[in-house]
Amino acid sequence: MAAQRFLGKTIIITGGAGGIGAAIAAEVANQGGRVGILDTNQGAIDAVVKKLTSQGAQVDARVVDVRDGLAVTTAIDALAQSLGGINILIAAAGGSLGTPRDMADITDADLDLVIDVNVKGTYYCARAVIPHMKKNHGGSIITFSSIGGRSASPVTGIPYAAAKAAITGLTRRLAKEVGEFGIRVNAIAPGLFLTDRLAGMFDELSETDRTEVLSAIPLGRMPELRECVDPVLFLASDEASYITGTVLDVNGGRLMPN
């Protein structure tokens, strides 16, 4: 049996019905945690809740758009009520959300969508969990930056770069503000992880392009999803009890910032 690191803890995962979020939810449940999910995709939520419940996990979920600050607070308060407080927030809802990469193709609505979901959504979710964490005299918040916010990515565009860079500023400033309450705030900055959504995209690349992508990664291979889940759960867990305000790059060495 896996170590029960999250026994007695409630972990809220936004985007918890998506690729990385659902993988985190499964591992949290595997390690004894109670799982609360916020996501916009009702069908995907139903599938995750059904799977985890059938494995004996305590799970609750709400269909919420993280861009709606009031709805986020209402849903998080309800999850705290049904699951017994909140210890950890993993704010994974985000991405480039199907928007184009190049400025010539990006509409103002695309720009708003990417900034609002990634940046404002993370802010609203953090704001909503903090009162619950204060009641517990501590907590841990994990935000999602990206290699695309830490460097000029060939894959994603300016809105995504701006949003994911903003997440690192949000993370550090929030860590400073809530440290006195025993609340830690850290960002994860993944490289390319082939979730179901992205696996097809990689497969469709030419052999030359695939080789080029791999040759930029010192470890010389694409990661398994577990290799993003484990660092997130390390930062979330008490094993990281003296770590706050950091950005953890998880990219096989493709980017090595100072």
Active site residues: 160
Q: How far is the CB of 223 from ligand NAD (least distance, A)?
A: 9
From candidates 13, 20, 88, 174, binder to ligand NAD by CB under 6 A? 20
Query: Going residue by residue from 152 to 191, which x/- string records binding to ligand NAD, judged by CB under 6 A?
Result: --------------------------------------x-
Residue 42 zone, left/alpha/beta (φ > 0; ψ -120 to 50; rest): alpha
Q: Which is nearer to ligand NAD, 38 or 80 (CB)?
A: 38
Q: How far is the CB of 193 from ligand NAD (least distance, A)?
A: 4
Please check whether residue 210 is in contact with residue 203, taking contact to mean a CB–CB distance below 8 angstroms. no
Closest CA to 225 of 201, 198, 254: 198
Q: What is the C-alpha to C-alpha distance for residues 95 and 19, in angstroms, rounded to an integer?
A: 11
Residue 19 in contact with ligand NAD, rule: CB under 6 A: yes
From candidates 12, 57, 66, 235, binder to ligand NAD by CB under 6 A? 66
Size of the site for ligand NAD (CB under 6 A): 29
Please check whether residue 244 is in contact with residue 178, taking contact to mean a CB–CB distance below 8 angstroms. no
Closest CA to 86 of 132, 37, 55: 132
Q: How many CB atoms neighbour CB 186 within 10 A? A: 23
Q: What is the C-alpha to C-alpha distance for residues 161 and 84, in angstroms, rounded to an integer?
A: 36
Q: How far is the CB of 214 from ligand NAD (least distance, A)?
A: 15
Residue 31 in contact with ligand NAD, rule: CB under 6 A: no
From candidates 13, 17, 52, 90, binder to ligand NAD by CB under 6 A? 17
From candidates 21, 157, 231, 252, binder to ligand NAD by CB under 6 A? 21
State the maximum Cα–Cα separation within the chain, in Å, rounded to a whole number.
54
What is the C-alpha radius of gyration for the chain, rounded to an integer number of angstroms? 18
Q: Which is nearer to ligand NAD, 202 or 241 (CB)?
A: 202
From candidates 13, 35, 117, 232, binder to ligand NAD by CB under 6 A? 117
Segment 86-115, which members bind ligand NAD (CB under 6 A)? 92-95
- Quote the strand ranges of the chain, DSSP E: 10-14, 34-39, 59-63, 88-91, 139-144, 183-190, 247-250
Residue matched to tokens 């918890």: 16
Residue 192 in contact with ligand NAD, rule: CB under 6 A: yes
Read off the DSSP letter of residue 112: H
Provide the binding-site residues for ligand NAD, judged by CB under 6 A. Answer: 14-15, 17-21, 38-41, 44, 65-67, 92-95, 117, 121, 144, 146, 190, 192-193, 195, 197-198
